Amino acid sequence: MIKDLFIKKTLTELEEQADSDHNTLKRHLSALNLTLLGVGCVIGAGIFVLTGTAAALHAGPAVALSFIISAFGCLLAGLCYAEFSSMIPVSGSAYTYGYATMGEFVAWIIGWDLILEYLFGSATVAVGWSGYITSFLDDFGIILPTSICQSPFIFDASGWSLSGSIINFPAIFIVALMTTLLVIGIKESAKFNNIIVLIKVVVILLFIGFGISHINVANWTPFVPANTGDFGHFGWSGVLTGAAVVFFAYVGFDAVSTTSQEAINPKCDVPRGILFSLLICTVLYIGVSLVLTGIVSYKELNVAAPIALAINKAGASLIWLRPIIKIGAIAGLSSVVLVLLLGQSRVFFTMASDGLLWRSFAKTHSKFKTPHITTIVTGSFAAFFAGLFPIGLLGELVSIGTLLAFIIVSVGIIILRKSEPNAIRGFKTPWVPFVPIFGALVCFAQMAALPGDTWIRLFLWMGIGFVIYFTYGMKHSHASNKRKSK
């Protein structure tokens, strides 16, 4: 039984899995599509939502430094992802990479962790989308009742309380809409995402370009606010905690690797998509965070639509930009929800294809050739959490899940270099083992900076996963059963 926990899939088996007739997913995605998928996912919640939350609760104007720290950790992890994706062109991202290096049980831990990452990620962004659409409609005199536009719960430094609202209906609506699009097809979803990415990048550049002249330098003083006496509440510990909170905003390049089985040339194009999207997005994040905290005092930014607030604060001279910014945010957050739901459904699909989850999750639609059951299940749970829970709580859960996945991928590169030294690599992580070791350490430091309650929720989530694995997954594992039959 112990031996079964560490059964690995060889690179040859993974290649056969990607190319077999059982791969009912269709290869439609080019390098440009993959880069835009990454940008589509990364440029969203981090800029339009969590920049304000991280500044107001943790880092102040130094949230720009938080983004730099996160980007550095992501770059190190991204180099490891790029090597894996050039060797293993199979959907499943870090789950698949873990299966090849550390065995089935570790792969399960990563897969279950990725589900946490994508599920709560899509819910987090949906809540941000709700804030922007409500603000946009309000500009035209269409006022939606707060009872159906906000979480019924409030979660802040003082703990839990009730908001008086019933449900966040707009957040549920956008999840349902993007789920439907994903069921219809990956090609259609990619085309939609490409258009949206163009719109939101132009909008972000407009905000940076015109917002610079409205910066009040006094809002940057002090750039690193004094610590309140609690770890993570301002000061340099706040900058580190802010980095951990916004880390999930970079999850887009991770989502790129989940689509390897739908890429036309995965060994070359997936690494390019990962690294190009990371570079583009980091530059935009730093620019937006500086302009945002320069226009509005960080103390006022704990809202679901911080950039909309900044435009309002800028006054009459930028009034023309307000609807454009909000349209860009609404469109941009829509594409993030789309890519995160795409990522989770593909992880579900791959785990089910390996026998670790229920067989129905590995089915594809007879007409659309998409994993429709996993997509619908994913969308249903994401809608539930988006409709009931506040953005701060959801964002912390995504960050800790993302960081854990990055640590395991970084360690996996070191193991794979020893176990498969002669394997063909379309891309090689430089300076191994220093890059993966440093990447793992940077990610762990950010995990350590997250609140203790977030760790407790992670352990509870993992506990649920262990129950499923030991009662179902382990018994139905294709890899294990295949070896037993020999």
Least confidently predicted of 22-26, 286-290, 402-406, 474-478? 22-26
- Average pLDDT, integer, range 430-437: 93
Residue 384 pLDDT more than 90?
yes
Q: Does residue 92 have a pLDDT over 70?
A: no
Q: Looking at 43-47, 138-142, 339-343, which range is the least confident one?
A: 43-47
For the segment 219-244, the average pLDDT, to the nearest whole number, is 90
Window from 61-65, 76-80, 342-346 with minimum mean pLDDT: 342-346
Evaluated on CA atoms 273, 276, 278, 282, the torsion sign reads negative
Three-class HEC string of the chain: CHHHHCCCCCHHHHHHHHHCCCCCCCCCECHHHHHHHHHHHHCCHHHHHHHHHHHHHHHHHHHHHHHHHHHHHHHHHHHHHHHHHHHCCCCCCHHHHHHHHCCHHHHHHHHHHHHHHHHHHHHHHHHHHHHHHHHHHHHCCCCCCHHHECCCEEEECCEEEECCCCCEHHHHHHHHHHHHHHHHCHHHHHHHHHHHHHHHHHHHHHHHHHHHHHCCHHHHCCCCCCCCCCCCCCHHHHHHHHHHHHHHHHCHHHHHHCCHHHECCHHHHHHHHHHHHHHHHHHHHHHHHHHHHHHCCHHHCCCCCHHHHHHHHHCHHHCCHHHHHHHHHHHHHHHHHHHHHHHHHHHHHHHHHCCCCCHHHHCCCCCCCCCHHHHHHHHHHHHHHHHHCCHHHHHHHHHHHHHHHHHHHHHHHHHHHHHCCCCCCCCCCCCCCHHHHHHHHHHHHHHHCCCHHHHHHHHHHHHHHHHHHHHHHHHHCHHHHHHHHC
Instruction: Calculate what percentage of the chain has a pLDDT beyond 90.
Output: 24
Q: Which CATH superfamily is domain 2-485 in?
A: Amino acid/polyamine transporter I (1.20.1740.10)
Residue 327 pLDDT > 80, yes or no? yes
What gap in Å lies between CA 260 and CA 88, rounded to an integer?
8
Is the predicted pLDDT of residue 372 greater than 80, yes or no? yes
Q: Hey, what are 466's tokens?
A: 């262990």
The rounded Cα 367 to chain-centroid distance in angstroms is 29
- Mean pLDDT in residue range 73-100: 81
pLDDT at 1 over 60: no
Mean pLDDT for the stretch of residues 285-314: 89
pLDDT tens for each residue of 12-40: 777 666 555 445 566 677 888 888 888 87
pLDDT at 334 over 80: yes
Specify the pLDDT at position 486.
59
Task: Tell me how far apart the alpha carbons of residues 120 and 357 are, in angstroms, rounded to a whole number.
Answer: 20
* Average confidence (pLDDT) over 134-163: 82
Question: With bands split at pLDDT 50, 70 and 90, how would you rate the model's confidence at 224?
Answer: very high
What is the per-residue pLDDT for 21? 42
* Cβ atoms 130, 140 nearer than 8 A: no
What is the overall mean pLDDT for the chain?
84
> What is the arithmetic mean of pLDDT over 120-136?
86
What does the pLDDT read at residue 56?
A: 92
404-423 confidence digits (pLDDT tens): 888 888 998 998 898 888 88
Q: Using CA atoms, how far apart are residues 350 and 353, in angstroms rounded to an integer? A: 5
